Amino acid sequence: MIWTLNEPCRGDMIRVKLGSIYHYGIFVSPDEVIQFGLPPSARPNLKDSEVEVLSSDIETFLQGGFVERAEYDKKERKTIKSVEEIVKTAKSRIGEKGYSILYNNCEHFCYQVVFGKSFSSQTDNVRKLFHSMPILDVYIATIPENGKLEKVYPKLRQKEISACKNETVKKEKYYAWKLLEYALFRTFGLKIQDQKFEKTDNGKWICENFEFSISHSYSQVAVAISRDKVGVDIELLKARKTEKLSEKILTDTELDEFNGLSIDEKDEFIILKWSEKESLFKMAGDGVFSPKSLSPSKDLVNSQIISLNGENFALSISSKHLNKLRLYQNINL
């Protein structure tokens, strides 16, 4: 399709450039151009919910601009509707609402009328840009004390939760998934029931439409969600058998640093390192967890101590987009 400055004919798709955007309509006559809402400059105070398909004269449509007419290519001419069908369809939709600048705007309307298929070059480009932008959102929620465990989607995750014999761990797994459901809708506007989940051979849950990682520790659950690989881990800060654990998980350099710390400092250090390495392993998504071979860097891992409900937790997030990190705490489930 190309656009020319030729005089339009009945049933033509037309457009006008107003500032940095184009406004589209179906030309019927100089006195009748059917469009989804008047040009933005002619409806400055209207909310999207108030915008509707209407008819105006060509002068109102153009708002002082120049009319451009669509010239269809060979492939498009095979699918285009007849002139009378285009006009009839456009008129039948007068009064229709449901305007959305991204999903149902004036260009979508015209393509639907002319070809029977919605399309918008302007918003498709915006969406492509939006979907290419890095996102790193991390959500943390407290597990409700008396919450009721209902069914979750998909069935395989429900089966995994139901098979868990430890009631505490069962609650953690359930609410971690419920937090994922919340995060998915909050970040991407997606419903979990519309997604296709799989579980890899090494037990990692994956989805084709986004990357995510889940973690749970006692009273808290955490979810990280992104468009790129991501890992999250949350650990309750409490006394551990640090000396024995240090030999198993610390590199030689980390072990030297560990040995120079006080007893209290050692507890925090070992838990933070475990959390960092766990999140880094989750981001990689494959292999066998071998913490002693992992050396988290500040470029890939953000770790911190956070206070939640009077207890301290180590929280670690692994991602290539740490500068985009948005942390949401105290989510109600």
* Digit-coded pLDDT (tens) for 215-232: 999 899 999 999 899 999
The pLDDT > 90 percentage for the chain reads 67
Contact partners, residue 262, CB within 8 Å, separation at least 6: none
Give the phi and the psi of residue 38 in degrees, each rounded to 5: -70, 165
Tell me the per-residue pLDDT of 22-31, one tens digit each, with 9 for 90 and over. Answer: 999 999 999 9
Specify whether 114 is located in the same domain as 156: no
Angle between helices 167-188 and 155-162 (to 10 degrees): 150
- Do residues 190 and 313 both lie within one domain? yes
pLDDT single digits (tens) 121-163 = 666 565 565 556 789 999 999 999 888 999 999 999 999 999 9
Kindly report the average pLDDT of the chain as a whole number: 90
Crossing angle (nearest 10°) for helices 121-132 and 106-115: 120
Query: What CATH number should be reported for the domain holding residue 224?
Result: 3.90.470.20
User: What's the CATH number where 16 sits?
Assistant: 3.90.1720.10
Residue 106 scores a pLDDT above 70: yes
74 and 116 in a single domain? The answer is yes
What is the span of the domain harbouring residue 158?
133-331
Amino acid at 285: G
**Diameter over CA atoms, the chain:** 85
pLDDT at residue 44 is higher than 90: no
The reply to whether 140 and 124 lie within a common domain is: no
Q: What is the pLDDT of residues 218-268, one digit of tens each?
A: 899 999 999 899 999 999 988 667 778 898 999 999 999 999 999 888 989
Does the pLDDT of residue 303 top 90, yes or no? yes
Same-domain pairing of 62 and 157: no
Q: Could you tell me if 246 and 296 lie in one domain?
A: yes
- Strand arrangement, sheet containing 136-142: 211-217, 220-226, 136-142, 325-331
**Picking from 40-49, 159-168, 286-295, 314-323, which range would have the lowest pLDDT averaged per residue?**
40-49
Phi, psi of 300 (to 5 degrees): -115, -20
Please indicate, yes or no, whether residues 195 and 94 belong to a single structural domain of this protein.
Answer: no
Q: Does 8 or 245 have the greater pLDDT score?
A: 8
What's the pLDDT at 129?
55
Q: Are residues 148 and 63 in the same domain?
A: no
> How many domains does the structure of the chain reveal?
2
Q: How far apart are alpha carbons 108 and 93 in whole angstroms? A: 13
